[in-house]
Amino acid sequence: MAATSFALGTLRPSYLLLLLVATSGIVTPLLSQATDTVSRSQPLSGDRRLVSQGGKFALGFFQPVGGTPDRWYLAVWFNKVPKLTPVWVANRVAPISDPKSSELRISEDGNLVLYNQLNSPIWFTNITSSTSDPTIGMILDTGNFVLTLASNLTNFLWQSFDEPTNVWLPGAKLGWNKITGLNRRLVSWKTSSDPSPGYYSVEIDLGGSNQFLYRWNNSENYWTTGSWTGTMFSGVPEMALYPKSLLTYDYVNNEQENYFMYRTNESKIIAMFSMEIVGQVKAVSWMESAQDWVPFLAMPKAQCSVYLVCGTFSICTENAFTFCSCIRGFSQQYGGDRLYGNSSEGCTRNVGLPCAGNSSRKEKVDGFYALAVANFPDNAWSVAAASDNEYSSLGQSIYVRLAASEFSSPTKTRKALVTGAAIVGDGTLVAVKKLDGISQGDKEFRAEGN
Ligand SMILES: *[C@@H]1O[C@H](CO)[C@@H](O)[C@H](O)[C@H]1NC(C)=O
Ligand SMILES: *[C@@H]1O[C@H](CO)[C@@H](O)[C@H](O)[C@H]1NC(C)=O
Ligand SMILES: *[C@@H]1O[C@H](CO)[C@@H](O)[C@H](O)[C@H]1NC(C)=O
Ligand SMILES: *[C@@H]1O[C@H](CO)[C@@H](O)[C@H](O)[C@H]1NC(C)=O
Ligand SMILES: *[C@@H]1O[C@H](CO)[C@@H](O)[C@H](O)[C@H]1NC(C)=O
Ligand SMILES: *[C@@H]1O[C@H](CO)[C@@H](O)[C@H](O)[C@H]1NC(C)=O
């Protein structure tokens, strides 16, 4: 068995226990599974899993809730939390279809390699070891999955903490190594059941400032935490509310590194930060009474300040259970498991406009519907409003062109002071006119000279 290849001096209590149990001839399936390592002689396959020494984290194959049945991922999750919560996914873009015929192995060159059901390597570490000493993969009580020398378990050749997915665990660095260029950043899952990379990411400012930048599609910066003040980020004052006996932060910026770290008092809370599919980073803690994760920090605080979160022709309403809805005349086009931030998703027009190729429908003239909004996004793809009832108190409107059949009452002709114009969508289906000083609610008026 694997443990016998270790020199006695490097044996840790768990191996000793395994050895003792093995030699006394009472190995139960449960005990033989309770190892924290994968080695040359003991690969990982099927429903076998590694469990860290103190039992806090497990590594194995898992399937996201609501996911496609034949998509499995190699992941690390909280072993003591009854709700399966992956904190790291190895093959996030390349699921395997059958864990029984797939295997995580230590290859001849000492790397960790995940082979799928066709025996093709679909995920691997890429280290070049300077020694021929055997290596092992080991899940630690911090949630870090490491590749290490069997002869020196603290000599990490590779670690999952260097390649985070969407979750940032206590004790892990979020930031970059200025010497090697390694940049540890969080990238959201695509949907709640698909761990492949979504549109939202967060990383330390590579320009050197002490703040985190939020990005959409690796390009558009949509939020920043503000600078670190020593106790909090200037844009997240709530950070300073938590007692040091519960949560502490470390910020390091020197010649080698620029990173942020936090620690929790594990005797009090199980907590993590994650970049959610909706573009916010949330800090959550496990609440035994609720049997669920409960958020205690959201960055940014306002869901609706996340770039493109609801997609096109949509309204984002803060604090609503379903914060995305469609503007009048449009309906949701996506199903339940949606990809937030996709500029081609969102809402589509219920009835096409005559000008959109249907010249036969000349008998009815389409009209404009006035929608007052709280905030215009920079790019006018979507709008944010406090609530439907608050439109009248807000000072800005957009005028959305709809087919005549979308208006229940006869449309009234109105003249509007057009102070600006924006085209949303593909630019041909809708015209949006923005005006200031509107004091009434919904208004309808006929398209003029269009
Ligand atoms: C593996 O590492 C080598 C040397 O650092 C590099 O040239 C190569 O591109 C890497 N391969 C992958 C798939 O990352
Ligand atoms: C094990 O590796 C660590 C990290 O590289 C090193 O600091 C330590 O000296 C090594 N221990 C032994 C016994 O070689
Ligand atoms: C997102 O980024 C990719 C790669 O840079 C680019 O090809 C794509 O057009 C972008 N998507 C949008 C909607 O801008
Ligand atoms: C963690 O919480 C325990 C129990 O309240 C307390 O005794 C201990 O001092 C705390 N540890 C730290 C590092 O604050
Ligand atoms: C965005 O949505 C469009 C339309 O639903 C879809 O075709 C496209 O694949 C989506 N983009 C991504 C990256 O999934
Ligand atoms: C155009 O008119 C035809 C026939 O009246 C109808 O079937 C079609 O749905 C219309 N297209 C749009 C975009 O409204």
Ligand closest to 342 (CA) is: 5
**If you take atom 2 of ligand 6, which residue's CA is the nearest one?**
358
Going by pLDDT thresholds of 50, 70 and 90, the confidence category of residue 368 is low
User: Which tops the pLDDT comparison, 399 or 159?
Assistant: 159
Query: What 3-state class would DSSP assign to 2?
Result: helix
Residue ranges of the domains in the chain?
1-163, 177-301, 309-446
Which tops the pLDDT comparison, 426 or 397? Answer: 397
Q: Is the pLDDT of residue 405 over 90?
A: no
Whole-number mean pLDDT of the chain?
Answer: 79
- Minimum CA distance residue for ligand 2 atom 4: 155
Alpha helices of 77-181 — where are they, by DSSP H?
A: none
**d(Cα 379, Cα 423) in Å, to the nearest integer?**
9
To which H or E segment does residue 21 belong?
Answer: helix 13-23
CA of 94 to the centre of ligand 5 (A): 18
Interval 41-58: pLDDT, tens? 999 999 999 999 999 999
pLDDT category at 366 given cuts 50, 70, 90 is low
% of the chain surpassing 90 pLDDT: 56
pLDDT tens by residue, 106-118: 999 999 999 999 9
A 10 A CB-CB count for 59 gives 27
Residue 406 has pLDDT above 60, yes or no: yes
Ligand 6 pocket: which of 330, 349, 358 to mutate (most atoms <8 Å of CB)?
358
Phi, psi of 27, deg, nearest 5: -70, 120
352 lines ligand 6 (CB under 6 A): yes
pLDDT at residue 449 in the model: 27
Cα-to-centroid distance, 230 and ligand 1 (Å): 38
The answer, yes or no, to whether any atom of ligand 4 lies below 6 A from the CB of 248, is no
Query: Sheet containing 135-139: which strands, arranged edge to edge?
Result: 37-38, 135-139, 145-149, 152-159
Q: Is any atom of ligand 4 closer than 6 Å to the C-beta of 12?
A: no
- What lies within 8 Å, CB to CB, of 102 at 6+ separation is 45, 61, 72, 96, 114, 115, 116, 117
Query: Ligand 4: does its nearest atom lie under 6 Å from the Cβ of 301?
Result: no
The pLDDT confidence band at residue 333, using thresholds 50, 70 and 90, is confident
Average pLDDT for residues 313-335, to the nearest whole number? Answer: 82
Distance 265 CA to ligand 4 centre (A): 6
Superfamily of domain 1-163: Bulb-type lectin domain (2.90.10.10)
pLDDT at 362: 53
Q: Tell me the whole-structure pTM to 2 decimals.
A: 0.79
The ligand minimizing its distance to the Cα of 358 is 6
Which of 226-230, 240-244, 257-261, 399-403 bottoms out in mean pLDDT, i.e. has the lowest? 399-403
User: pLDDT at position 132, please?
Assistant: 83
